[in-house]
Structure formats: C-alpha cells, structure tokens
C-alpha cells in the first residue's frame, strides 16, 4: 500500500514540479507535513547531503525520501516514478517538436507556471526561515548573503562555508 | 564513438557523476562530452534542448538528457540517456542513506548539518532570486506570484493544486487573448466595408 502511495506522490511531483531541481522541494515539504514519511528536519538534511553528492538534486532527494519511507524498494519506486512523467512527455514532445514550440497555449501556460513555481519555492524558503532559524542561523545567513553579493559562487562554496561555521559553532557549544 | 545503447548510457553516466551542486551545470558538461568529444549533436541543438528541458515539468537535467537521447537513437536512446543520468545519483544516495542513519546521531555531524541547513536555505533563496528575475516580468506574472505565494505560505494549499490552477489560468489567458484578437479583426473588417 505504501509503495502505491509512493508511486502516486512521486509521479505527481514529476508531472507538476516546474522550474528545475529545487522546484521539487515544495512538494517534498508538503509530503513531510501530510504523510509523515519523514520530518521537515530530515528533509533539510537530505537536501544538504544531496547538494554535495553527484547527480541532479531532484533525483537525489527523491531517492533519499523513497529510502526513508520504504528502504531500497522505496528508493527505486520514488526515483522511477519521478522521472516517468518526464520520459513520457519528452517522447511525445520530441515527435511534435515544431508544434510544441510554436503553440501559443503552451507558451501562455509556461509563462504562468514560471512565477507560480518561483512563488512555491519562495514559500518554502520563508517557512524554513521562520521555523528553523535562530539568531545564530540568521547571522550565518546574513554572512552568506553578503558573500553572494560580493561575488556569485558555486553552491558548494556556500555549503562549505556553512559546514565550517556549523563545526565551529558546535565546538563552541552554541548548537544544542 | 558509435551511437549504441551502451555508449549513450556510458556517456550520460559520466555526466551524471560529474554533476555536482545542482542541475544547472549540465549544459557545459554535455557540451564538452557530446559536442567537443563525440560530435553527436551540435551546440545550437544542445542549447535548444536545454531550453526545452526547462519547459517540461520534472528535473531539468533528466528532461534534457531524454531529449538528447531521443535525438540520438529514438526511444531506446532516451531510455539509455535517462538511466545513465539517474544511476550515479541513485547509487550515491542509496550508499549514503544507509550510513546516514548511523552517523546522524553524532554531535559533531549534527552541528555540521545545522550549518549546512542554513547553507541550503541560502541556496533556496538564490534559486528564488534567479527564478524571479527570469519569470516576474509584468503585472500578470507579479499577481500570479503573489497569489500562489499567499495560498501556499498562509493557507498551506498543496503545490500540486496550485500548479494545476496555474495551468488552467495559462489556458484561460490565451483563450481570452484569442477571443479579443478575433474581435479586433472583426471591427477592422467592419471599418473597411
């Protein structure tokens, strides 16, 4: 039963998430809240690990979430079902490439989906900020933000800095 | 190199292994592997597939791989490319997921995760900023952003429902535009007669 639910949840993420790897996150946080397969805290840890392992982050997190939910079978089902809609759509679109590119309905839908996807991710960001950030975290966030204003860097740069900050804060006993 | 199932799989497996820190780096990686080293597609086609990959739901890197795979060898090419791009990511996580449960309890690891959690939040804000600059271009897109944000953040409406609603809104907007265009055409015809 849980495997069927996994298939359904991840298939619909693959079908409806729009705007890249991070676009899957609003769906995954929603699952954390309503299905209780994993907690929001665990998901944040999964995203952190996924950012420093090979592969697209959307696939990493799906594999991770599937594993947390139902072990190795769960991770296989979650990964397969998140890519299945892509596969079907790409096969269809590849055959109708010119119509797809020129269709004004398709353009209008994409034009609407882009700000919608952006808003969903922004809502996740605000939620995480409100729920999980203490004064120390806010301080770290401001530092990272200032660094990004000075020069835009690779994602790994920010994760490296924040991991170091975590270690230092841990040694000083600031992280409980 | 010949375009066989195994070769396509191998090529995308390599790209999947090198893909670190988010899917956006896939374009330069594929350029180096497919255009420079193998001459399987030209650069222009690749950029077009990158754009197409973003206009299909799901993970961009996976979409783009499937498009290129299909172009190389039809159905089985798409299967090979997708399996190749997904496999490294899947294997890495399955190995780590097992260890993670054991080490996550350690205090040292917890403080790293605390820091990296903040780093992830920063990456999310950067992604939002990037998406914002590409997608919020006029009044209409600003309103879409505003409503989706409020409904998602305050009312906890499921993201799936909001995306489906946005799809319908997009269809409605285009239908309305077509009706209005038809009206304008009618009026100008009346003027002529």
Q: Which of B115, B157, B160 to mutate to test the interface with A (most CBs of A within 10 A)?
A: B115
Q: What is the ipTM of this complex?
A: 0.86
Alpha helices in chain B (DSSP H): 5-18, 26-30, 43-54, 60-103, 107-135, 139-153, 159-192
Q: Do A45 and B113 touch (CB under 8 A)?
A: yes
Dihedral angle, C-alpha B48, B131, A11, B23, nearest 10 ° = 60
CB within 8 Å of chain A, chain B residues 10-69? 16-24, 26, 52, 54-63, 66-67
| Geometric angle at alpha carbon B128, from B176 and B67, rounded to 5° | 70
Confidence band (pLDDT; 50, 70, 90) for A11? very high
Kindly report the length of chain B.
193
Nearest CA of chain A to the CA of B59: how many Å? 5
Residue B163, burial from CB neighbour count under 10 angstroms (0-12, 13-18, 19+): buried
Nearest CA of chain B to the CA of A23: how many Å? 8
CB within 8 Å of chain B, chain A residues 42-81? 44-45, 47-60, 63-64, 67-68, 72, 75-76, 79
B100/A147 Cα distance (integer angstroms): 30
Q: Do B52 and A93 touch (CB under 8 A)?
A: yes
Q: Are B30 and B36 in contact (CB under 8 A)?
A: no
B50/A86 Cα distance (integer angstroms): 14
**Global pTM?**
0.85
Average pLDDT, chain A: 88
What pLDDT was estimated at residue A165? 92
Q: Are B174 and A103 in contact (CB under 8 A)?
A: no
Domain residues of chain A, as ranges? Answer: 2-132, 134-176
Q: Are B3 and B9 in contact (CB under 8 A)?
A: no
Other C-beta atoms within 10 Å of A15: how many?
Answer: 20
B35/B47 Cα distance (integer angstroms): 11
Domain residues of chain B, as ranges? Answer: 1-103
Nearest CA of chain A to the CA of B144: how many Å? 6
Quick: pLDDT tens for A132-164.
778 888 889 999 989 888 887 777 788 889 999
Q: Are B92 and A60 in contact (CB under 8 A)?
A: yes
B155/B175 Cα distance (integer angstroms): 29
A27/B128 Cα distance (integer angstroms): 15
Q: Are A120 and B162 in contact (CB under 8 A)?
A: yes
Integer Rg of chain B from CA = 23
What pLDDT was estimated at residue B108? 84
Per-position pLDDT tens, chain B of length 193? 788 899 999 999 999 888 876 556 788 888 888 888 888 888 888 888 888 888 889 888 899 999 999 999 999 999 999 999 999 999 999 988 888 777 777 888 888 888 888 888 888 888 898 889 988 999 999 999 999 999 999 988 989 999 999 999 999 999 999 999 998 888 887 776 5
Other C-beta atoms within 10 Å of B60: how many?
Answer: 26
């Amino acid at each position: 039963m849980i495997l069927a639910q996994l298939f359904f949840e991840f298939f619909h993420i693959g079908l409806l998430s729009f705007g890249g790897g991070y676009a899957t996150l609003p769906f995954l946080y929603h699952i954390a809240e309503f299905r209780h397969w994993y907690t929001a805290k665990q998901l944040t840890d999964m995203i952190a690990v996924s950012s420093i392992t090979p592969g697209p982050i959307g696939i990493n997190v799906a594999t991770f979430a599937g594993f947390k939910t139902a072990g190795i079978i769960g991770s296989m089902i979650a990964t397969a079902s998140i890519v299945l809609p892509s596969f079907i759509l790409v096969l269809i679109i590849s055959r109708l490439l010119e119509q797809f590119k020129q269709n004004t309905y398709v353009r209008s839908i994409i034009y609407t989906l882009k700000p919608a996807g952006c808003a969903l991710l922004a809502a996740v960001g605000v939620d995480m900020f409100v729920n999980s950030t203490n004064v120390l975290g806010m301080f770290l966030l401001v530092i990272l933000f200032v660094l990004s204003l000075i020069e835009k860097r690779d994602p790994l740069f920010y994760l490296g800095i924040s991991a170091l900050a975590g270690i230092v804060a841990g040694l000083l006993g600031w992280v409980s | 190199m010949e375009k066989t199932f195994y070769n396509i799989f191998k090529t995308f497996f390599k790209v999947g292994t090198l893909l670190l820190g988010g899917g956006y780096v896939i374009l330069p990686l594929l350029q180096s592997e497919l255009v420079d080293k193998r001459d399987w597609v030209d650069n222009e086609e690749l950029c077009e597939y990158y754009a197409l990959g973003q206009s299909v739901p799901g993970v961009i890197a996976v979409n783009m791989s499937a498009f290129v795979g299909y172009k190389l060898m039809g159905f089985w090419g798409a299967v090979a490319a997708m399996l190749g791009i997904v496999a490294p990511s899947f294997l890495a996580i399955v190995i780590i997921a097992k260890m993670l449960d054991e080490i996550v309890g350690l205090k040292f690891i917890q403080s790293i995760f605390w820091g990296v959690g903040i780093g992830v939040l920063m990456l999310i804000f950067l992604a939002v900023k990037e998406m914002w600059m590409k997608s919020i271009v006029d009044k209409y897109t600003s309103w879409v952003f505003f409503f989706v944000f409020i409904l998602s953040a305050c009312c906890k409406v499921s993201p799936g429902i909001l995306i489906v609603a946005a799809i319908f809104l997009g269809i409605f907007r285009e239908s309305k535009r077509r009706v209005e265009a038809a009206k304008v055409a009618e009026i100008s015809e009346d003027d002529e007669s």
